[in-house]
Amino acid sequence: MTTTNPADHTMSGTGPTGPTGPTVKGPKRFDKPRTPQGKAARWGEDRLGIAGGMRKQLNKVFPDHWSFMMGEIALYSFIILILSGTFLTFFFDASMAEVRYDGAYVPLDGVQMSRAYASTLDISFEVRGGLVMRQIHHWAALLFMAAMLVHMFRVFFTGAFRKPRELNWLIGLGLITLGLVEGFAGYSLPDDLLSGTGLRIAAAIMQSIPVIGSWAEFLVFGGKFPGTVIIGRLYIVHVLLVPGILAGLIGAHMALLVKQKHTEFPGPGKTEQTVSGERMYPTYGMKAGGFFFIVFAVCAALGGLAQINPVWLFGPYNPGQVSSGSQPDWYIGFLDGSTRLFPSWEIRLFDHTIPPLFWPTLVLPGIMFSLAGAYPFLEAKFTHDKSAHNLLQRPRDVPVRTGLGAMAITFYGVLLVSGGNDLIAKAFDISLNAMTWAGRISLLVLPPLVYAATYKICLGLQRHDREVLEHGIETGIIKLLPHGEFIEIHQPLGAVDAHGHGQLGYAGTPVPKKMNQLGTPRRPSIRGFFYPVREKADIQAELDALAAAESSREEHRERELTD
Amino acid sequence: MSTTHGAAPGEQLTAEEAAQLSPEEAMMAGAEADGVYIVHRRDRFPIAGTKAEKRAERTIAIIFLIGFLAAVAFIVVFCGAVPFEWRLPGTGNQNYRYFTPLIGGLLGLSLACIGIGVVLWAKWLLPEEEAVQDRHDGASDMTAQILGAGTLVSGFEDLGIARRSMLKSTLGLAGGALAAVPLVALIGAMIKKPNRGPRQSLFHTPFEAGVPLVYYDGRRVSPDDLLPGGLATVFPGVEGGTKDADSPTLLIRLRPGQAVKARKGQADFGWGDYVAFSKICTHAGCPASLYEQKTGRLLCPCHQSQFDVLQDAKPVFGPATRSLPKLPLNVEMVDGRQYFIARDDYPEAIGPSFWERP
């Protein structure tokens, strides 16, 4: 074999040696690999020259924290959605042509329905494993949206969106917005009674846009609702257009993450200029890869064991029917809630109408998403913070931001709960009108209250951290002083001054609050959830063994690169 | 592998030197060249083959084995061990009920075993490691910035955009117009003029003078059909009338003693103790289908607008702003029996409001 790779220094001097040549240590092994792996590596390297670039990526360091897994869950659910969705496309027929059902599900025998609905029934009843795939797809979609939202909360509350990561914040917001569209398009496809009702509301929302409303509806539906084209159009939007954009944005989101490297929490040895943790290969990659399977496992188990969207119970879409307690998928719920709470305010001007639907379904989400998108820039402007940040903040250390976040979540939460206020009214036997009024009042009153409470809680937590740093940890040991006073003994965390006050300053990291949290600063010294993972004696024995092993290791350093 | 790709700092080894390194040492040297410093690294089981290590390995192996069995069981169930065809309860083999839970559960178990096994492998058996990597982020160094900016500006000068304003403006014109082409093509192909023709008008429904009222199955509606307090969803008896999204109409027979306060000019729209309102909610277009006959209230389940039938279907709660439009009724005699017909279309647009609506 000859190689033309000029960078391959190992070629020079040695030259090709015959297979009969003596086994020489060193360069020769790389010229003429003998193992299949070696040959494959040689083949690839000669053509791509990626040894250096690949090594750089394999060595990439990722920090470890449970809250960093939310984005991973979102990414993995997206992959699961593509896998399960591809399966579904082989059987789904996105046509609104009318057929008479004569499939396996006898209760709907002879019912007139669209081919879209009929093929969804076929997937559920006649395609082997079709129902489980449908349900995995639906559960993964719910998980995708939930994981993105919680990931957004994590990024917000820890300040991970600050410079230099504002772009990724915006991309993330785009992903959530497109996820909403994608989810709505997806669950509209079966053309059942529930999704048809949702589409009718979507048509009414388009109609409500001032000036161009009717034009928008006629453009999207190809005429008056429902028309005959909407399912086909939503299908291509759902399986090609939006997933394509989503995949591109996810790629950009990940590329920025790789370029900018992950943020991490402050701690001993953590600096703005470095990132610490485990290398991509092998440890982090293995954990992340394993986690993909775990997320998939949860979706598969839910898809098998927890029924979702049983469209055969709803029946085909019929504009004259609706079921009570109609609920959209949870991520659309906040829009349903805002629509229910918004008062009946209609603007009529010079023979024209701006319907009440326009404000809670288009203007309000527009404001919500714009505020979210603008937040990193607003915060930088108001705090005059122009520097780049790679270390995260604890939510308590930024009470205003944490309060604003809690306020936004409360606002969103009231809308979401109001999206199901009829179910709550029914379950607890409350008047529906009372629920609506409770929602309207809560929407205005709760967020500021939550802001104030969160702000106070943050300050309290800060104060407690400072107190422990100054006075030490409460030991629970009560001491009676000679003059009769009872005091609790405090364990200082470090050196104390003449007054017994601690000298440690707050460093933006968790402060141990209990005696058994003392030990190494980063992790509790005894690990395990229900009981310690290892007995202390074991640890000592292992440490002793470690010392012995270190010396024996030295001897084995001699071993060669395995061919 | 080739060794001197990219002259990263610290990557000073010759190929001969590098070839003498153990894989671990080579990894360390490579990592250092990438700005990755492994500050802590130790085998979790420094002595090979201890009981604890074997136990860990065995546990993970058992988990993988369960994953294997679950996957095999999935295949067996999927390929016919359990039937999957739906059967009406009480007829045929009902074991299909277990098919979906079984394959979902087994697939989940198999995936979970692989996932958990791999994670445990990483956590229990891989060396404990703490690595620190330089970030090198933020802006490039000043030289790189100047050179990069120079490249951009020089290209810009080569193009001469500043000097050749005629080219700039004409290309801008052509490009701008061309950029509008895809948008125009898509919108132009999709656009439909609203309210063209009666079937495509937001102001009209298929009802017109003399159109019979029918049930969903096509039977005609007679005043004898409903008891007082009763209600039926009726449609215009024309081709496609039951499929038209604007045509569902609520025919309500009032209870004795109930009377509807009619809107101006609509006093004669009812017939006897019957009134007919559009079923399509004036808020978002859902069917307002929950009728409480004692109070005469209609509730739309989507956003809970409530209409008082006795006040001429005026909205009394919730986000709806307009009363449900009222259909003028009449009857005709066919074979000695009375049947409902529409006297005209609804006097106003039905369903959710829109800009063009007065």
For residue B16, give the nearest of A26, A131, A207 by CB distance.
A26
Q: In chain B, which residue's Cα lies nearest the Cα of A317?
A: B243
Please report residues of A whose CB lies closer than 8 A to that of B43. 549
- Take residue B219 and report the two structure tokens written for it: 């039977």
Strand pairing class (B249-253; A347-349): unpaired
Q: Which two tokens stand for residue A352?
A: 């024209």
Taking contacts as CB-CB distances below 8 angstroms, the residues of chain A near B206 are: none
Contacts of A234 (CB under 8 A, 6+ apart): A94, A185, A188, A189
Q: Give the model's pLDDT for residue A164.
A: 92
Partner-chain contact A205 B284, CB within 8 Å: yes
A475 CA: distance to closest CA in chain B (Å): 32
Rounded (5°) CA angle B138-B143-B148: 80
Q: Is A527 helix (H, G, I), strand (E, B) or coil?
A: coil
Encoding tokens for residue B164? Answer: 């050749």
A563, A38 Cβ separation under 8 angstroms:
yes
Q: Is B279 on the interface with A (CB under 8 A)?
A: yes
How many angstroms away from the CA of B166 is the closest CA of chain A? Answer: 36
The secondary structure of residue B7, as a DSSP letter, is -
Put simply, the answer to whether B2 touches A10 (Cβ < 8 Å) is yes
pLDDT band of residue A530 (cuts 50, 70, 90) is: low
Supply the pLDDT for residue A14: 39
Q: Concatenated DSSP letters for B274-288?
A: EEEEE-B-TTT--B-
Find the CB nearest A291 among B115, B283, B284.
Answer: B115
Cβ distance B321 to A344 less than 8 Å, yes or no, reads yes
Gap between the terminal Cα atoms of chain B: 78
pLDDT at A35 over 70: yes
Distance from CA of B69 to the nearest CA of A (A): 15
- Residue A23 — very low, low, confident or very high, per pLDDT cuts 50/70/90? very low
B68 touches A: beta carbon within 8 Å? no
Test A339 with B352 for CB contact under 8 angstroms.
Answer: no
CA distance A254 to A270: 23
Instruction: For residues A165-176, give the mean pLDDT.
Output: 96
Q: Of B281, B306, B320, B304, which is closest to residue A337 (Cα–Cα)?
A: B304
What is the ipTM metric for this complex? 0.90
A404-428 mean pLDDT: 94
Q: How distant, in Å, are the alpha carbons of A55, A157, A467 from that of A3?
A: 21, 54, 68
Q: In a structure prediction context, what are the per-residue pLDDT tens digits for chain B, which is 358 residues long?
A: 333 344 444 457 888 888 888 888 889 999 988 889 998 888 888 888 888 899 999 999 999 999 999 999 999 999 989 999 888 888 888 899 999 999 999 999 999 999 999 999 999 999 988 899 998 776 778 898 899 999 999 998 888 888 888 988 999 999 999 999 999 999 999 998 888 877 888 888 999 888 999 998 889 999 988 898 888 999 998 888 888 888 999 999 988 888 888 888 888 888 888 999 999 999 999 998 888 878 888 998 888 899 998 888 999 998 999 999 999 999 998 888 899 999 999 999 999 999 988 8
Q: Among residues B298, B34, B67, which one has the least CA distance to residue A59?
A: B34
| Predicted local distance difference test score (pLDDT) of residue A12 | 39
Closest listed residue to residue A366, CA positions, set A177, A528, A221: A177
DSSP track, B284-312 = T--B--EEETTTTEEE-TTT--EEEGGGT
Of B86, B108, B121, the CB nearest to A125: B86
SS3 B61: helix
How many helices and strands, by DSSP H and E, does chain B display? Answer: 6, 12
Strand order in the sheet with B128-134: A61-62, A274-279, B128-134, B36-42
A163 CB near a chain B CB, below 8 Å? no
Between positions 24 and 63 of B, the ones with CB within 8 A of A are 25-26, 30-31, 34, 36, 38-39, 42-43, 46-47
Which CATH number, 1.10.150.120, 3.40.50.300, 1.20.20.10, 2.102.10.10, labels domain B213-356? 2.102.10.10
- Shortest distance between the Cα of B163 and any Cα of chain A, in A, equals 35
CB-neighbour burial class of residue A34 (10 A; exposed 0-12, middle 13-18, buried 19+): exposed
Any chain B CB within 8 A of the CB of A289?
Answer: yes
In sequence order, what are the residues at sequence separation of 6 or more whose Cβ sits closer than 8 angstroms to the Cβ of residue B292? B298, B299
pLDDT of residue A15: 40
Residue with the bigger pLDDT between B31 and A18: it is B31
A344 vs B47: CB contact, 8 Å cut-off?
Answer: no
Q: Give A240's DSSP letter.
A: I
CB contact under 8 A, B47 and A549: yes
Chain B, nearest residue to A226 by Cα: B245
Give the whole-angstrom CA distance, residue A563 versus residue B17: 17
Angle at A125 between CA A120 and CA A130, to 5 degrees: 70
- b vs e for A379-414, b when ≥16 Cβ sit within 10 Å of the residue's Cβ? bbeeeeeeeebbbbbbbbbbbebbbbbbbbbbbbbb
Of the partner residues A26, A319, A549, the one whose CB lies closest to the CB of residue B245 = A319
The reply to whether B96 touches chain A by the CB within 8 Å rule is no
Alpha-carbon distance values, A243 to A93, B3, B129 (Å): 19, 41, 38
Report how many Cβ contacts below 8 Å link chain A to chain B. Answer: 372
Q: What is the mean pLDDT of chain A?
A: 87
Nearest CB to B287: which of A136, A292, A320? A320
pLDDT tens sequence across A186-230:
999 999 999 999 999 999 999 999 999 999 999 999 988 888 999
**Does the distance separating the beta carbons of B115 and A296 come in below 8 Å?**
yes
Cβ distance of B358 and A211 shorter than 8 Å: no
Q: Which residues of B touch A547 (CB under 8 A)?
A: none
Q: Are B287 and A319 in contact (CB under 8 A)?
A: yes
d(CA A355, CA A343): 11
> How many residues are present in chain A?
563
**CA atoms of A116 and A49, how far apart (whole Å):** 50
Q: What is the pTM of this model?
A: 0.89
Task: Kindly state the average pLDDT of the residues A484-492.
Answer: 91
> Where is average pLDDT lowest: A3-17, A155-169, A478-492, B119-133?
A3-17
Q: Is any Cβ of chain B less than 8 angstroms from the Cβ of A196?
A: no
For residue A343, the chain B residues in CB contact (below 8 A) are: 319
Considering only CB atoms, A297 lies closest to which of B36, B111, B200, namely: B111
- A28, pLDDT greater than 80: no
The answer to whether A361 and A341 have CB atoms below 8 angstroms apart is no
- % of chain A surpassing 90 pLDDT: 64
Cβ contact A61–B22 (<8 Å): no
Structural domain spans, chain B = 29-191, 213-356
Question: What's the gap in Å between the CA of B138 and the closest CA on chain A?
Answer: 7
pLDDT band for position A324 (50/70/90)? confident
CB-nearest to B22 from A125, A286, A559 is: A559
Name the more confident of A5 and A373: A373
Judged by DSSP in three states, A250 sits in: helix
Residue A91 at interface with chain B, using a CB cutoff of 8 Å = no
Residues of B in contact with A49 (CB under 8 A): 2, 5
CA dist B346 → A533, B195, B350 (Å): 76, 16, 7
Biggest alpha carbon distance in chain A?
98
DSSP state, B149?
Answer: H
Angle between helices A69-89 and A242-260 (to 10 degrees): 150
Are the Cβ atoms of B357 and A352 closer than 8 angstroms? yes
pLDDT score, position B6: 42
